[in-house]
Structure formats: C-alpha cells, structure tokens
Structure 1
C-alpha cells in the first residue's frame, strides 16, 4: 500500500501496486482515501480482487490444449468433424471467452498426451507436465480429476462431464434368459408339474383297469409306465394319440386332460411369440458380464489406461473376459459393430452421437441404450499450476461464462443425442439363438435315442451269441446207435 497526500485537502490517497507478470510494468490501483475525521474510505470495498483485476491488458499467455489430430487446428470453433478431439473442441469456446473476458492474447501450446505419472522416472508427461512445470498458465483441455494429479496441479472448475459410456443395442431376452422358462412363473411350473403327475397316475390306473377287467385297448394286455409317459407327452404338446378309452370314466378323463393342456399350450405359445420380439435393458456390469454380448473400447490412449487399470473387481472381470488388450476399435468400426450385432462399445458419447445420427436408421436409434462406463464418476477439470496467482481470477471468470450458458451451448452442439421418432416399427426374424434351447433339447433327445439304439443292438447281439442250444436226452442217442448197427449187420 502506498500513501499519497492530496494537494488541496487533508485527505491522503491510498494506492495498491501490482503486476500482471514478471515482465509487465507496475499497475497502480486507487484503493481509496484516508483522513483524521472519517478514517479510511475505500473505493473498492464492494468488489473482489478477482473482478477488479481481470483485465490483463492483452498480455500474451500460453494455454495448453490436448490436440491429437492435426486437422483439429482447422475446426476448433466451426463445430465440424466433432468425432476427433471432441473434448478439446467442447472446451475451446469457453476458454476463448475466458481470454476475451480477461483481455489475454491466447498462445496455444498443443500436446498429444493427457498426462500420466511414470513411477520409474517419477515424472509426469503431456498436459499435466506442461502445467506442473509452469510452462503454461492454464490447461485449455480438461483431463480427469485424480488424486495423483491433484498433488501437482490445482483443479479450478469442472468444464466437461467427459461422458464415456457403454453404447449398445438393447439385446433380445434370449441373450439374457432362457425364453422357454419365462412364460410361467416358478409357482405355475410347480403347479403344472403336479397336474401332470396327477393325470399320469389317473391314466395309468384307469387304462390298466380297463384292459384287464373290461376290454383291451388297442389289443394291449397292459400299459407300462413308458406307454403312459408317451401319452402324457402327446397331450402336453397337443399332438393327440390313437388310443381311445372304452369307458365313460376314461373318456371324461381324456377330455379334461386335453382341455386343460389346450389352454396351457395356447397361453404358453402366445407368450413365447411376444417375448421373441421383446428386448432387455442391460442395467449394470453384472448383466453385461452374464450376457452373450461382446464388448470393446474406443481406441484412445486414455481409454486403454482407465479400462485396464480399473480397481473395481467386476469391471476387471468384464475387461478380462470381453475386452482385453485387443478389444479396442476406431470409433466408426465400434459404432458399426453396435449396429450390426449385439455389441457394447465403451466410447465418448458426444463423438458417438454424431456418427450415430448420420449412419443409423430411426429404428436403430430407438433400440439403443446407454449404460454408465468405467469412468462415469470422473469429470474433466480445467487446472492451473499450484498456487498460481491467476487461479481465482480464472475460476470466477469461468463460473460467469458457465452462468451465461456459453459452456453448455458448446457442449450441446457436440453432444446432441439423436432422437427416436417412432419405435416399434421394426420386426426381427427369429434366429438360431432364440431357438437354441429348443434345438438343444432336440439334439439331446436324438443323442439319447441313438445311444439307447446302440445299447439295444449290443444287448441282443450278445444274447444271441451266448444262447445255449437244448441237448437231447442220452437214451435217444443210444437207440439211434443200435438201429445203425442193426442196419449195417
């Protein structure tokens, strides 16, 4: 504080000197006056230093930006090619507004790495290194807030949500469950089993009673459990049979049995048709891990780091089972895999939306779903060097820019989610996966039948070879020998 006596009265003027940087001339700020009667009268007691000294007088300052592709230089502000360096482009408009608000001449310093710590050399690289070594005054791109980075730089404001999520088509229920057990609840299946057993016992008793006491059915002397089991299968599957009961009791039983299974069969078949066209919303990592869907990640440096280095046990299992080191694809390739099949792609949401809007049909868009990714809890923060004198000025200015809606406008221009205008207009054919369990039962039945046929052939072959021919009594052989001797004599 510098005190200067006023020439015309007894007041003393109070001035505060400050410098924008080490090479800049001293700037004098009129703080107020002082006199013996009223003491200190401040001109600036109602304004903070962050708002008073935001004019940097066109001072050139370096700001680091993550720029991986050279083409980005030509499209930082025209909203074109949003699929490359998306996060940098989302943030550039707000940083440009910050430079204009603070009257700073912007000097862009490009880097190709976000910034990671090397335990062997105990150094940082990329964007974090530039800020940590004070080679720049601000990071124009917003990397993730991590504990390691917080120790070397000061994060001042969340600039971008950096939404990285799983993008996928809603899979059919056949990818998640056995379709043929879904139509009925577990209690219904239990009740159905009891009904089948009751009908089985009643049919076995009545048919054998009719055969033995009244009149044989289909020239049968008796009905074995396997015969009745086959009749029950025919009734459950609504295939009918050629055996007719000769008594009123038996015919009433058959009528009730076929009628009951008719309603059950109709309900079951109708529900199967419905769920064949139904989809399932994958809720969490466990659902994705248990499903038959494939998974992959977007081919970027940070994506490999965060997917492979996750500390979450379930995320590690998902990465090891479905992604792995070779499960990373370019954005176009990954989104195309999502469109062609049931594939979960871990990618930047903003860049993916732009490509989806240009290549997907409306029915494809309506069938999409988004699930939280590995880094959904992490946000992108703009940061300055530790204890930077510009930290509070930049922070207040960025908050004002956010309040004015500039940051949100830029974000929405890149992260505009495609709209679904008419779901339910598509029809998917039934595939092998939908019929997998039915085909599995068919294959198992054929296998069991072939095995039983082989065993029966072996059994009868062995029995035929080991069958003992009956021997004639000895006295017959003696009589024949006597007759032969008499004839010869």
Structure 2
C-alpha cells in the first residue's frame, strides 16, 4: 500500500498471518524519487514468522503399531521400534511450530496415500482436502502427488531397500575349483602325467627281471591307476617292488598329500565365505534368493509403479497373480533373512533395529542392500499453494543446521550393523554345497556303467563269433573219431 505525503509516498506492507486473521501493517519504506527501505529485516521469513497462534495440523503416518497414537503426542520415547520415522517427524515439526508461534495439532493416517479410482487416500488425501497442512516424510516416487502437494525439506531420512545376506560362495560358483589357480591345476596335471610315464618305465624294467601278483606289469594302464590313486589319496594293490620305483611312488604320494592338505583347508574356508555377487536388481533376480516384502501399505503399491522387465519380474515373484503373496511382518522377515537365501523389501531402519537384537555378530558381516525404487531422499509434503510453505521450509533448514535433526535421527534410528569381529563358526554343509561333488560322482558312475555295458557287449560279441569255430572243431574231432572206428 502506498500513501502520498508531501515528501513522496509512504510504502506499507500488508499481510495476514491467518486466512481469517486481522490485517497486519508493516512499514516498507519511503519513495521520493528513490526508494528508502525502512524494513527491520529484508528476509520475508523474519518479518512474517509469527503466525500468532494459528493452528497448523500435521498428518502422521503410522503403520507398525497402533500404540504409536498414544506414545507419539507424549514423546515419551517408549517402543522406539515402532514408527520411528513418524516420531522423528513429529518431534521436529512440533519444534518448528514453536518457532512459528503456531498451535500444534495432529491427525493420524495408516498410509502415505495413493490414487485409486481417481481418489486420493491416506496422508495425501488429508493434505488435498485441507484436513492437514503438512505430512510425514515420504518418498517422491509418485509423480501424480506433485499435482496436490509440494515437498519442502528432509526431516527423517530413511531408505527403502531389499535387505539380505549375501549367499554362500558355493551357491554362485564351483568352490572345488577355486582353491588353486589355473596354473597350479595345469602343473598338477603335468606332474601326474610325468609320474605316470616314469612309473611305467620303471615297472617295465622291473617286469623284465621277474613278476609277482602285486607287482606292476609295466603297462600304462596300471601306472595310470597308481597315479590316480595317489591323486585321490587312496592306496593301490599294485606297487613297484624295487627300491627306485618305490622312491618315485613315495615322492608322488608325499607331494600330493601336501597339496591335498592345502586344498582341504581352502575348501573349509570357502564353504563359509559369502559371495558378494549380488549388487544390482538384475543380479538379485537371477539369483536363487527368495524375494519378499514387509506387509505394510506402501509395498502393495510401489511394485506396480514400474514397467521395466527386471522390476516387473520382481513384482510377479513377490505378489503373483495366482497364489499367496510373499508378505511378512518385520519379525518374521528378519528371521528369514538370518536363515539366509531371503531378500526382504522394507524401510531398512526398523529392519536393522531388529537385526541388532536377534543376529549374532558373525551373521552381520554379510548383510547387503539393493535399491528397488532408485528414488530421491524423502521430504515433508505440504498442501500445494499453502501460504506457509516458505515459513516451514526455512524453519526446517534452521533445525537441520542446528544439529537437532541429527540428534533425533541418532536417538531413534539404527544404522546398518557393523561387522566388528568377523569370526569363523560352525556351518552345516547342505546338498547345494556338494552339488559339484554329486555331479562328479554321477558323471563317474554313468561312465562306469557305460564302460561296463560296452565290455559286456564286446564279450558277448566275441563269444558269438567264436561259437562257429568251436562247433567246427567239435565236428572235426567227431569225424576223426568216426574214421578211426
């Protein structure tokens, strides 16, 4: 407003602290060809931060326990495992209301809010209909929300992830080939071949001097059998009789025994080693891990918001069209994470709190996360075109810069557990760990049966081929006998 005086114009700023409040006049300055600013503060926030007791309402989203409706207004810090995000938001927002001289009010909702059949639900509906002025921290994952709300600042950071334990190394690779490098395996094969040849040469020399039932006869087959027995750390009934041949066999068994000891020690370590092979959604889908989600409101909506093939596959595995969906509460989901081969989609902070309570130290060392939403940090939503947006935004930043927000987050949220002492412990071995060994045994048994069938067929073929010769000999002998008679 401008009022003309002799010296020029007196500029006055008009505003209302509430829609139904009285008009407030604030001197702005004098204009007499040039503007002389007389405002006490240039910042709009500092001039209008006092809303004079106007009630501001916050919509608090609770999903973990209905007891939060009792504990949250009292800020008694009881049951911190339930709805920690809502409690942090309420504590900080209440402080902001005091900074703005607003009367704090609150309502409760059991979902953040999604659009169904053209209507908003939950917290977003509270803001859209004017039932609340601002809400609880939520992710900027639904673009349609931008039509009805405006996001201000982050108050209670949280992450929504798949939390799981990295599967054992035996689940993703053949651990029986990992103890030695390729060059060592090649060296073992070469040494076995050289040993076979030298034993064969030595046994031929021994056979020329005389043989016994348990002595090598000098054939390459017997020498190879003895070498394979040494590789498998097994004995053989055939052995050299002379001193030179026995020295070669002793050196072969001693060298392979040392390799066998190193190999066995590495296998024991690898059986308990995590793989660290799952770092992306595509790798998570390709793994044998069971996918599940926390049985709360947002997990029944967010999976259907994405249309790329990887996320669609995850959605179908968690919530199939036929059959029961893979949804669990926090306690059951964390217990399945502890058992392994299970990925649980949830806000990670309450999951980590439960993990700290139930996991052993060694079980915390292979925890991993994979982000499904790939979204921004959560922010406080405010009713679109609200006159208090700028006041709230600046007040939130002041609280954040003062360190109060960090103090509240550290008080009520649990970070990812750290692996303090990575110690080894007993771990049972399952059939999946022995898959390469069982496959090797089946292949060996199949080859043995095939060779046995082939030998039987050759034996019967030779027997049939020799039968006419025998009959001819019998006939000749019979004719000779008749002639003598």
TM-score, L = length of structure 2: 0.83
Gap change, CA 1:476 and 1:355, over 3 Å in 2: closer
Q: Does residue 388 in structure 1 map to residue 386 in structure 2?
A: yes
Q: What is the match of residue 162 of structure 2?
A: 166
2:162, 2:345 within 8 Å by CA — same for their partners in 1? Answer: yes
- How many residue pairs get matched? 474
Gap change, CA 1:280 and 1:221, over 3 Å in 2: closer
* Structure 1 residue 267 displacement after superposition: 2.0
* Structure 1 residue 399 displacement after superposition: 0.6
Q: Secondary structure at the match of 1:297?
A: strand
1:157, 1:395 within 8 Å by CA — same for their partners in 2? Answer: yes
Gap change, CA 1:157 and 1:476, over 3 Å in 2: closer
Q: What is the match of residue 438 of structure 1?
A: 437
1:350, 1:414 within 8 Å by CA — same for their partners in 2? Answer: no
* Structure 2: gaps (5+ residues): none
Partner Cα distance (2:315, 2:220) in 1: 52
* Structure 1 residue 272 displacement after superposition: 1.9
C-alpha distance after superposition, 1:301-356 (max 9, x if no partner): 21233335445544444555577562221111001112234422222222123323
2:167, 2:340 within 8 Å by CA — same for their partners in 1? Answer: no
* Structure 1 residue 171 displacement after superposition: 3.8
Q: What is the match of residue 371 of structure 2?
A: 373
1:172, 1:277 within 8 Å by CA — same for their partners in 2? Answer: yes
Partner Cα distance (2:429, 2:157) in 1: 39
Partner Cα distance (1:221, 1:173) in 2: 43
1:61, 1:105 within 8 Å by CA — same for their partners in 2? Answer: yes
Q: Does residue 266 in structure 1 map to residue 266 in structure 2?
A: no
Q: What is the match of residue 51 of structure 2?
A: 56
Q: Secondary structure at the match of 2:152?
A: strand
Q: What is the match of residue 99 of structure 2?
A: 101
Q: Secondary structure at the match of 2:273?
A: coil
* Alignment map for 1:74-93 (pairs within 5 Å): 74-76=70-72, 77-93=75-91
Q: Secondary structure at the match of 2:346?
A: strand
C-alpha distance after superposition, 1:239-277 (max 9, x if no partner): 233433355654454344333323322221222233334
Partner Cα distance (1:253, 1:196) in 2: 12
C-alpha distance after superposition, 1:167-217 (max 9, x if no partner): 333443223322211101122222322332333344344434543x44336
* Alignment map for 1:117-132 (pairs within 5 Å): 117-118=115-116, 121-132=117-128
Q: What is the match of residue 23 of structure 1?
A: 20
1:65, 1:141 within 8 Å by CA — same for their partners in 2? Answer: no
Q: Secondary structure at the match of 2:264?
A: helix
Partner Cα distance (2:437, 2:10) in 1: 94
Q: Does residue 349 in structure 1 map to residue 348 in structure 2?
A: yes
Q: Secondary structure at the match of 1:195?
A: helix
* Structure 1 residue 456 displacement after superposition: 5.2
Q: What is the match of residue 278 of structure 1?
A: 273
Gap change, CA 1:109 and 1:167, over 3 Å in 2: same
Q: What is the match of residue 339 of structure 1?
A: 338
1:17, 1:26 within 8 Å by CA — same for their partners in 2? Answer: yes
1:145, 1:155 within 8 Å by CA — same for their partners in 2? Answer: no
C-alpha distance after superposition, 1:42-88 (max 9, x if no partner): 133x4311221111111123332323453221121233334433432
* Structure 1 residue 426 displacement after superposition: 5.3
Q: What is the match of residue 486 of structure 1?
A: none
Q: What is the match of residue 3 of structure 1?
A: 3
* Structure 1: gaps (5+ residues): 484-489
* Alignment map for 1:458-473 (pairs within 5 Å): 467-468=467-468, 470-471=471-472, 472-473=474-475
* Structure 1 residue 461 displacement after superposition: 6.8
1:66, 1:112 within 8 Å by CA — same for their partners in 2? Answer: yes
Radius of gyration: which is bigger?
1
1:17, 1:29 within 8 Å by CA — same for their partners in 2? Answer: yes
* Alignment map for 1:188-337 (pairs within 5 Å): 188-208=184-204, 210-211=206-207, 213-216=208-211, 218=213, 222=217, 225-246=220-241, 250-285=245-280, 286-311=282-307, 313-318=309-314, 320=316, 326-337=325-336
Q: Does residue 407 in structure 1 map to residue 405 in structure 2?
A: yes
Partner Cα distance (1:476, 1:263) in 2: 67
Task: Name which of structure 1's ranges 15-24 and 425-434 shifts more when overlaid on structure 2.
Answer: 425-434
Partner Cα distance (2:174, 2:151) in 1: 50
* Structure 1 residue 478 displacement after superposition: 10
Task: Name which of structure 1's ranges 435-444 and 470-479 shifts more when overlaid on structure 2.
Answer: 470-479
Partner Cα distance (1:342, 1:475) in 2: 78
1:62, 1:137 within 8 Å by CA — same for their partners in 2? Answer: yes
| 1:178 aligns with one of 168, 174, 179 | 174
Partner Cα distance (1:360, 1:202) in 2: 57
Q: Secondary structure at the match of 2:301?
A: helix
Gap change, CA 1:288 and 1:204, over 3 Å in 2: farther
Q: What is the match of residue 40 of structure 1?
A: 36
TM-score, L = length of structure 1: 0.82
